Amino acid sequence: MDRLQKVMARAGVASRRKSEQMIRDGKVQVNGEVVTELGVKVDANKDRIEVEGRPIKPEQKRYILFHKPTGVITSMSDPQNRPVVADFVRDLDERVYPVGRLDFDTEGLLLLTNDGELAHRLTHPRHEVDKVYRAKVKGIPGADALRHLQSGVELSDGWTAPARVRLVQSGKRESLLEMTLHEGRNRQVRRMCEAVGHPVLHLQRIRLDFLTLDGLKTGHWRELTRTEQHRLKKRIGLMP
């Protein structure tokens, strides 16, 4: 027996947090009865669970590593008909969703999945999953700027958590930084660099925990291997 929101997340309905909200909103029925309490436990193999009148059934879990190009929105649809990540995975039978987001002008590694529990854990700061970026910035950050980025920068939505930052190379007018974060705030790397006086000229996410873009061209994707799936689940406590 598992909590209802956990079963919903595992079935690919939504993330656990969004599943909880759907329960509160009265959109979920178990064996014909509307459930609005989060503590209810169900048996996914015996109980009939419906979301907005549609029965849920376990989907095949998909784990997609995507090299997002710049000029693409991290969403499955867009009212303005701009390019979205869904355009690149139309052939999949299952519904997959981005884990976290990369902004419109940022390229790089993006994980797509229908495993709601895995997505929830990967994006929760408690699990301290590394997100590694390469940022080409204007100017040459000095020791003080690097220390500020490492120890925390005050942004409009509060101080950032400590980060690992190193200067990879520098030229006359621009430099390349490698930044490792555990947070996932909106445009965080860009805002951090702007705050210390070195605006970002180009940004790429190159790694998520142990996953990298090696051999994956921009706009292409691949399935995680079974070994990678197990390693990732073990990393965030979904497997012993």
State the residue for tokens 């790429």: 204
Token pair for residue 5?
């929101």
Token pair for residue 64?
């997609």
Which of 2, 87, 103, 209 is catalytic? The answer is 103
Q: Say whether 151 sits in a helix, a strand or coil.
A: helix
Separation CA 96–CA 81 (nearest Å): 19
103 in catalytic set: yes
Q: Which residues of 178-211 are buried (b: 16+ CB within 10 A; e: fewer)?
A: bbebbebeebbbbbbbbbbebebeebbbbbbbeb
Give, in order, the Cα–Cα distances in Å from 81 to each of 72, 73, 78, 96, 132. 11, 10, 5, 19, 30
Q: Which residues contact 211 (CB under 8 A, 6 or more apart)?
A: 65, 109, 111, 224, 228, 232
Question: Cβ(177)–Cβ(193) under 8 Å?
Answer: yes
Sequence letter at residue 208: L
Enzyme catalytic residues:
103
